[in-house]
Chains A and B, each alone.
Chain A
Amino acid sequence: MPYGIKLHIWGERALFTRPEMKVERVSYDVITPSAARGIIETIHWKPAIRWVVDSIQVLRPIRFESIRRNEVGSKLSAASVGKAIKAGRTDALVSYVEEDRQQRAATVLRDVGYVISAHFELTSQAGPDDNEGKHLDIFNRRARKGQCFQTPCLGTREFPANFALIENSDSMPTPDPSMAGERDLGWMLHDIDFASGMTSRFFRARMVNGLIEVPPLAADEVHS
């Protein structure tokens, strides 16, 4: 991978919601490629490039914790905003939390750490002055200094992610001894294919000594 990067990310809690259990949210065992891509994009992204996650190294034991919170049940409707704009007043446009309260539990991961290996490709929107070296430099410079567009998060925004660039000369963080051996994590969300109508694509995640190889989104073993 000529233009690859390695990013070490870690945090106290994480929630990579399984799409089949999104009401009372339950996290996947590990970070999904799409969440990993999202984290990289908070550091550097331009429409000219597309990040591709190659592998995910899981560093810490997989542990869960449950948190129940009061949440609201509905989204704001565009029509009522339009009405408020026309009326020119905001007082009718409120959501009373008491009337719309739901208590939802979330099963979240505790104390996570990963190394994401990724590279990027240029997209059709790349202009003449977009070249790989430039974007790679920008990413490395930002990641080294801890710069980001917004604070990256581990699945949801209440769980911020810490990050540090792993340079070529740096040694990889060593995974926890409990990660040894092979584990089948089952079908996992790979990413959402925004090019073809936002279809979700899934792959069979296998973890060998904590390392998950991520196939390309268009590969045969990735299914919609």
Chain B
Amino acid sequence: MSVISHRYEFVYLFDVINGNPNGDPDAGNLPRLDPETNRGLVTDVALKRKIRNYVALEQEGAPGYAIYMQEKSVLNNQHKLAYEALSITPEAKKLPKEEAKARELTAWMCKNFFDVRAFGAVMTTEVNAGQVRGPVQIAFASSIDPVLPMEISITRMAVTNEKDLEKERTMGRKHILPYGLFRVHGFVSAKLAERTGFSDEDLQLLWRALTNLFEHDRSASRGEMAARKLIVFEHEHPMGNAPAHVLFDMVKVERVDGGAEAPEPGSPARGFADYRVSIDRSSLPAGVTINEMF
């Protein structure tokens, strides 16, 4: 497991059909909206949650791939595998200085937990070394075009309480976006990876997680979500060869009029075929390679 030696940036596109990609607790679970532009939003933490869940599913608690921040619905499979005996280094008797101790604790956490290694974690101690900054940083995802959430009333042919028995049924609400294509930017720092031991294998796992992010996250509220595109910029130099925003500007996502599901120009997008993704390779800075993962 060698630590990654390049800086990366990525543009990730995913879409939703008739679902709620990320509910807003402030707005009664309506899909999140940017109030100024009416574009849909998906928070960074929502995506990180899904990455954690994918890694937990794929790795099933393999040594080194435990997930610290767990959802209870993800079954704890860790007992399946005997723990890697080599990693046990009980040096408690020595009792080094506080700072060294904290470093030892964080190193152990990084070694064993994928999410600590990738995203970092805050471990409370009196010394600052108990804080891990992870190399992987994800920004908010926002939809390409403004979206219009729909509220759908549904009925349930049962009631919860006995005293409501005569009502026979209850009404509920679902909020959906008919369609939304979301774009998110992410960053992987080689220098922070050195500190947490985020390896090339971990990076491949991150790409796999993004590729299959929604395949194992089906639920009644999400509708049909799918990863559509992952464009990775790899810098030759660990510190990077070009500003991130220059690279992001190279990727354009545009509406095509008269796409598969929008016969009339100007009609709302209802499918990925209504968009065209293009990369302006002519302005690619030296030392950066583009990798279209899918």
Contacts and interface: CB of A to CB of B under 8 A. Distances in A.
A78 B70 contact: no
Interface string B136-177: 011110000000000000000000000000000000000000
Contact residues on B (Cβ < 8 Å of other chain), bracket: 35 or more
A164 B242 CA distance: 11
A169 interface: no
A134 interface: no
A82 B108 CA distance: 9
Interface string A91-112: 1011111110001010000100
Interface string B73-94: 0001011000101011110100
Interface string A55-80: 00000000101111111100111100
Given A145-B240, A150-B189, A81 B123 contact: yes
A197 B34 CA distance: 41
B244 A77 contact: no
Mostly helix, strand, loop or mixed at chain B's interface? mixed
B125 to A, nearest CB: 4
Contact of A81 (B49, B105, B187, B237): B105
Interface of B: 24-26, 32, 34-36, 41, 43-45, 49, 61, 66-72, 76, 78-79, 83, 85, 87-90, 92, 101-102, 104-105, 108-109, 112-113, 121-125, 130, 133, 135, 137-140, 185, 187, 189, 191-192, 237, 239-246
The 6 closest A-B pairs by CB, nearest first: A146-B243, A147-B239, A150-B189, A162-B245, A91-B78, A158-B44
7 contacts: A75-B124, A78-B130, A91-B61, A95-B68, A99-B72, A148-B239, A162-B243
